[in-house]
Amino acid sequence: MAVYEGTLAPHLGSGEPARVRFVVDDGWVRVVVGYRPLGTWRVSDIDCERVSLTRFTVKLDTDVYTFIPDDPTGFSDAIGAVVDLRPTARFGLGPRVRAALAAEREERA
């Protein structure tokens, strides 16, 4: 079981942000505010996209939220967040990833 704390807010700013915990355990995710569970979902049923180094767009059922975890890397790995690597994407890692791989190949040669 892994617990990822952070700030959850409605995606378009139509509500107050809250401190929450995403509890990831055996293919399931439970979202908890304080001691109150908001719901439980299968990891495979959650749409999660990393939109910056620290921010994620998370779709739970039909509701979309922005989540800023205290541990972005751990959360991304646990939840299986999608990272758009196209050069035109907001996150824009594609060119940096390709450059790093090319540099690594050159070092080995």
pTM of the predicted model over 0.85: no
Q: So what's the architecture of 2-83 in CATH?
A: Roll (2.30)
- For residue range 19-46, what is the model confidence (pLDDT) as tens digits? 999 999 999 999 999 899 999 999 999 9
pLDDT tens track of the chain, all 109 residues?
A: 999 999 999 876 667 899 999 999 999 999 999 899 999 999 999 999 888 888 999 999 888 999 999 999 999 999 988 776 666 665 556 666 777 788 888 888 7
Of 52, 51, 57, 2, give the one whose Cα is nearest residue 26: 2
Q: Where are the beta strands (DSSP E) in 16-62?
A: 18-25, 28-33, 36-42, 47-50, 56-60
For the chain, which residues make up each domain, given as ranges?
2-83
Q: Give the tokens for residue 64.
A: 């979309």
